[in-house]
Structure 1
Amino acid sequence: MKFKGIIFDLDGTLVNSLEDISDAMNTVLTGLNYPTHTYDIYQYFIGSGLRNLVSKALPASNNSDKQIEICFDCMINEYREVCTIKTKPYEGIITLLDNLFSRNIKLAVFSNKADELTKKIAAEIFPNYFDAAVGLSTEELKKPNPFEALEISKNWNLKPEEILFVGDSDIDMQTAINANMFAVGVSWGYRTEEELIGSGAKVVINKPSELIEIL
């Protein structure tokens, strides 16, 4: 089947945002006199939304729902100001998007990052490439819930089977399966190839240009 559309995850797939996310959360933790974490640790906190990241970053002794909510608001405020300072596209991504755009492949972003921030980063770093950039608006619609992915396919007037879902995490692969889309894992993100394959990836690519071969 000829694939006609691609939905990309954002963090760890299109952009390396690890340092900006980590720096913002560590600023919040430092302000509360809580222990901070290294970039390597944050790598495993990313993927299930910033609220979940906040919960994982807080000390177990200060992890009440109220504290998570307070720190989440602080994290969003801090991250909003720094979310494109160190965040950059992975090598080869812009070339890939140019290639796909020239082929009239429909392109979208679906992230578990807050919707406001997903749209901000997509617009500033990738202007004019994507038909839609959808982030998290409510916890119920968080990946691996396929609702937003299926809404994108409806707006494109494409069958789910005609769409590649590209991501770097187990959650992305589960989302693709739940949406009946073709799951493509990327090895340059925040998870291992073994984890991606174990979570349902049909194929794992090692550089962006390999996506063209799938098409």
Structure 2
Amino acid sequence: MKLVLFDCDGTLVDSANLIHETMRRTFAHFGKPEPRVEDTKAIIGLTLDIAIARMQGKPHADDEAVEMMAYYKTLFAVVRQDLDFKEPLFEGIRELIDAIGPREDLLIGAVTGKSRRGLKLVMETHGFDKYFVVSRTADDCPSKPHPAMVTECCDQTGIEPSDTLVIGDAIYDMQMAKAAGATAIGVAWGYASVDELNKAGADAIIHHPSELLSHIG
């Protein structure tokens, strides 16, 4: 039995435009310079307060970052509805999940910097909630690259980290996987470069979701 844990933003769904627009409106509300798209993409995967602090060059989340995070959360659903952002699946993801979801030798889960509510919306929108049996979000654990999201999923399912694969597009996903003792699989279609993923400790890089099947076995 293996455990396969997917990051969400940048791995399963392309949410960069939605996240950036929400971040742009948040920064404007607080009188901050508008962030670049590249700045937003670089922090996707982190817990929101830490992400917002990093975007301003702060080493840690302060009271202002926490206040901005709270405002961001009130905006997210509004922006999603206003601009009809649906966080589309990346090409090949549906086919992959439909292929591995019913397998009896695998358990599938999610480890994400999204809120619990945000992850639930993605799962229900794309019909994946029937396959994903375990998950940890920003509401449950410390921010990546802390290993808790992975280790808690392992504890819940009874599967060792050595039998666990973490699939993600961010350096934080790779670092989290390695810290937990799991296999780190980087995806080339997300928001970090292949070089960045390799430097962060990726055990392998896949360029299309179908390539994951050879690593699962």
Please classify the TM superposition score into its range, dividing by the shorter chain length: 0.7 to 0.9
Q: Alignment partner of 1:112: what SS?
A: coil
Contact kept, 8 Å, 2:27 with 2:35, in 1: the verdict is no
Q: Alignment partner of 1:89: what SS?
A: coil
1:169: Cα distance to partner?
1.3
1:170: Cα distance to partner?
1.3
Amino acid in structure 2 at the alignment position of 1:66: D
- Is 1:155 matched up with 2:156? yes
Q: Which residue of 2 aligns with 1:91?
A: 91
Q: Which residue of 2 aligns with 1:79?
A: 76
Amino acid in structure 1 at the alignment position of 2:129: P
Q: What is the rounded CA distance, in whole Å, between the counterparts of 2:148 and 2:41 in structure 1? A: 26
After the TM superposition, which parts of structure 1 deviate over 6 Å for at least 4 consecutive aligned residues? none
- Equivalent pairs, count: 210
Contact kept, 8 Å, 1:83 with 1:121, in 2: the verdict is no
Q: Residue 127 of structure 1 is aligned with which of 122, 126, 129?
A: 129
Q: What is the rounded CA distance, in whole Å, between the counterparts of 1:106 and 1:83 in structure 2? A: 30
Contact kept, 8 Å, 1:24 with 1:78, in 2: the verdict is yes
Q: TM-score, normalised by structure 1?
A: 0.87
Residue segments in structure 2 that go unaligned for 5+ positions in a row: none
Q: What is the rounded CA distance, in whole Å, between the counterparts of 1:144 and 1:79 in structure 2? A: 24
Contact kept, 8 Å, 1:50 with 1:114, in 2: the verdict is no
After TM superposition, the structure 1 stretch with the greater mean CA deviation from structure 2, 46-55 or 160-169, is 46-55
Q: Which residue of 2 aligns with 1:39?
A: 37
- Is 1:194 matched up with 2:191? no
Q: Residue 64 of structure 2 is aligned with which of 48, 63, 67?
A: 67
Q: Alignment partner of 2:130: what SS?
A: coil
1:166: Cα distance to partner?
0.7
Q: What is the rounded CA distance, in whole Å, between the counterparts of 1:108 and 1:64 in structure 2? A: 28
Residues 3-55 of structure 1: CA deviation (Å, up to 9, x unaligned): 62200111111111101111111122233443223323311132222212322
RMSD: 2.3
1:113: Cα distance to partner?
2.2
1:190: Cα distance to partner?
0.7
Q: TM-score, normalised by structure 2?
A: 0.87
Contact kept, 8 Å, 1:112 with 1:142, in 2: the verdict is yes
Residues 65-124 of structure 1: CA deviation (Å, up to 9, x unaligned): 332222111101101334582411111001000010132321000112223322332333
- Is 1:146 matched up with 2:147? yes
Q: Which residue of 1 aligns with 2:10?
A: 12
